[in-house]
Every structure is written in C-alpha cells, then in structure tokens.
C-alpha cells in the first residue's frame, strides 16, 4: 500500500529535508584530502541533533553510523570509519534525517580535489539522470517513466545503472512502497498520484552493473571494482508538479564539483 501525504505533511517532510540540506552543505565544506569518513559522520550527527532532529540511519537494522560514506568503487551503505579521503577520490554521502516523526533521505557524490575525466563524467551523468527523473515525478505519469528517464540517460553515456538496489517511497518510515527501480520502460508501472513522496536514487557505475557485498555485510561495491556514484532526492508529487524536499542545489554549493 502506498501512503499518500497531505500538503501539510509534505511541508513537515520538507522541514526534515531542510535540515538534511544544511547537513549536506556542512559536509561539502569539510570534504578534502586527509579528512576521515568518521569525522564527517561525527560532524553530521552533531549538527542534525543540534537542530532537534535525529540521524535516520543510526541504529537502523544495527547500522553504526549516522550517515553512509562510500568511497570510489563502493556504491552505498559504507560505514564511516578511519578511511582517510585522498586527492582524486570520489565519496558518496547518504543522509537520512527524522524530524517530528517524518523522514527525508538524500545523497550525493563529492569529488575530493581534481578527479579523472571518467570520474567527472560519472558524477555529472548520475546527477543529470536524477534531475531528469524529477521531471517525470508528475501526476499522470507512471513510475516506469521515472525509472526509464534514469536508465536512458545513464546508458546513453556508456555507464551502467545498478539494478540490485532501488529507490523507495518515504514518509513516517524511511522505506515505504513503492520500490523504484532505476531502469524500466516508459508508460509502465503504477500511476503517479498527488501526495506520493518518492526517494529516487540512481546508483551508477563506470563499469558493469553487478554488485558485491563487503566483509562488514553493509558496504556494497561494484563487483568489477569500477567507480560508483549515487545521487538521491526526496521528491513529492504535488498538484503543482514535482517538489524536491531536499534541494541542496539551491544553496549554491551543492552541485557536484566535477
């Protein structure tokens, strides 16, 4: 069952999203060579709690971190720790915030100093595919239109969409129905209706789409060791079109520095 949200409820989710955006922008200012992912995690947790909110991932199914930090060939679910960012790394940061019982979820991949042309293309293409997906989050469209927009853009660029992981509905719970694959056919799937809130999250590799799970049983890598990127927004389907509830791009420093 898909739980639709009223305009008032969407505003409350947007309030969680605002805290998330501020957290992401705080981290954008800290990502540089020599910083550990644990330091980023601590800064994020401290800030989120200072806003009267909670990090949604902390303790979720036993996850030890407040955010997920996934460098290079790691796609998602990286546990923050002693890993020190190196010049030329890419780092995917996924943040969940709970405020007033409502959850917002978003991710972006940062570049750590200058990166290779293929890494730059990977980040740019993944982010672009997310914006193309946002444009499809409209009443009258179907879920397959969202999925297809992502797949087409990514594959046209010669990159691969991860198929084993999907986006999701979101609201009072971080994971609600529907599941949102990042590949599919247009004009298929459920019709999008006013009040649906979707966490759309393309995960893209520079190689093949197959994944492997790390020894910590959390981290997920590209199986072939190729670089991976992850961009995610929480998006509401409203009567006035798509509304991004985690708009880190509007703060000015949220774009991928590719």
Candidates 105, 127, 145, 176; binder of Mg ion (CB under 5 A) is: 105
Candidates 85, 199, 206, 237; binder of Mg ion (CB under 5 A) is: 199
Q: Smallest gap, in angstroms, from Cβ of residue 237 to Mg ion? A: 17
Give the count of alpha carbons within 13 A of 182, CB side only: 31
Q: Which is nearer to Mg ion, 14 or 115 (CB)?
A: 14
**Only segment of 104-112, 134-142, 185-193, 235-243 that touches Mg ion (CB under 5 A):** 104-112
Instruction: Confirm or reject binding of residue 180 to Mg ion (CB under 5 A).
Output: no
Q: Which is nearer to Mg ion, 62 or 117 (CB)?
A: 62
**Only segment of 110-118, 197-205, 223-231, 245-253 that touches Mg ion (CB under 5 A):** 197-205
Q: And the tokens for 117?
A: 């042309």
**Only segment of 40-48, 157-165, 199-207, 210-218 that touches Mg ion (CB under 5 A):** 199-207
3-class SS of residue 110: strand
Contact present, 208 and 224 (Cβ < 8 Å): yes
Q: Smallest gap, in angstroms, from Cβ of residue 140 to Mg ion? A: 25
Biggest alpha carbon distance in the chain?
48
User: 32, 42, 86, 93: which is closest to 64 by C-alpha?
Assistant: 42
Q: Smallest gap, in angstroms, from Cβ of residue 118 to Mg ion? A: 25
Q: Smallest gap, in angstroms, from Cβ of residue 96 to Mg ion? A: 7
Q: Which is nearer to Mg ion, 115 or 170 (CB)?
A: 170
Give the count of alpha carbons within 13 A of 79, CB side only: 15
What is the total count of residues that contact Mg ion (CB under 5 A)? Answer: 3
Q: Smallest gap, in angstroms, from Cβ of residue 151 to Mg ion? A: 18
CA angle 216, 123, 231 (to 5 degrees): 60
Give the count of alpha carbons within 13 A of 164, CB side only: 13
Q: Which is nearer to Mg ion, 115 or 229 (CB)?
A: 229
Q: Smallest gap, in angstroms, from Cβ of residue 17 to Mg ion? A: 13
**Only segment of 100-108, 143-151, 152-160, 236-244 that touches Mg ion (CB under 5 A):** 100-108
Contact present, 21 and 251 (Cβ < 8 Å): yes
Place of tokens 């979101």: 170
**C-beta neighbour count of 140 within 10 angstroms:** 9
C-alpha 58/C-alpha 184 separation (Å) is: 32
Ordered DSSP codes for 58-87: TTGGG---SEEEEETTEEE-PPPSSPBP-T
**Only segment of 21-29, 58-66, 79-87, 198-206 that touches Mg ion (CB under 5 A):** 198-206
Q: Smallest gap, in angstroms, from Cβ of residue 105 to Mg ion? A: 4
- By CB under 5 A, name the binding residues for Mg ion: 105, 199, 201
């Amino acid at each position: 069952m898909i739980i639709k949200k009223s305009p008032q409820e969407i505003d409350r989710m947007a309030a969680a999203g605002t805290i998330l955006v501020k957290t992401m922008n705080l981290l954008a200012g800290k990502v540089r060579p020599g910083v550990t992912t644990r330091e980023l995690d601590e800064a994020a947790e401290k800030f989120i709690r200072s806003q009267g909110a909670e990090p949604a991932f902390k303790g979720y199914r036993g996850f030890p971190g407040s955010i997920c930090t996934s460098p290079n060939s790691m796609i998602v679910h990286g546990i923050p720790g002693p890993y020190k960012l190196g010049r030329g790394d890419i780092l995917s940061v996924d943040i969940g915030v709970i405020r007033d019982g409502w959850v917002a979820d978003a991710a972006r991949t940062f570049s750590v100093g200058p990166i290779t042309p293929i890494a730059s293309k990977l980040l740019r293409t993944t982010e672009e595919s997310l914006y193309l997906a946002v444009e499809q989050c409209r009443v009258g469209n179907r879920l397959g239109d969202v999925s297809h927009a992502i797949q087409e853009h990514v594959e046209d660029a010669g990159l691969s969409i991860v198929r084993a992981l999907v986006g999701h509905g979101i609201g009072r719970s971080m994971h609600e129905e529907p599941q949102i694959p990042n590949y599919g056919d247009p004009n298929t799937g459920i019709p999008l209706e006013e009040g649906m809130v979707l966490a759309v999250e393309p995960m893209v590799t520079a190689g093949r789409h197959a994944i492997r799970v790390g020894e910590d049983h959390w981290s997920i890598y590209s199986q072939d060791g190729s670089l991976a990127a992850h961009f995610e927004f929480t998006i509401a389907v409203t009567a006035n079109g798509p509304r991004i509830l985690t708009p880190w791009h509007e703060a000015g420093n949220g774009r991928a520095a590719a």
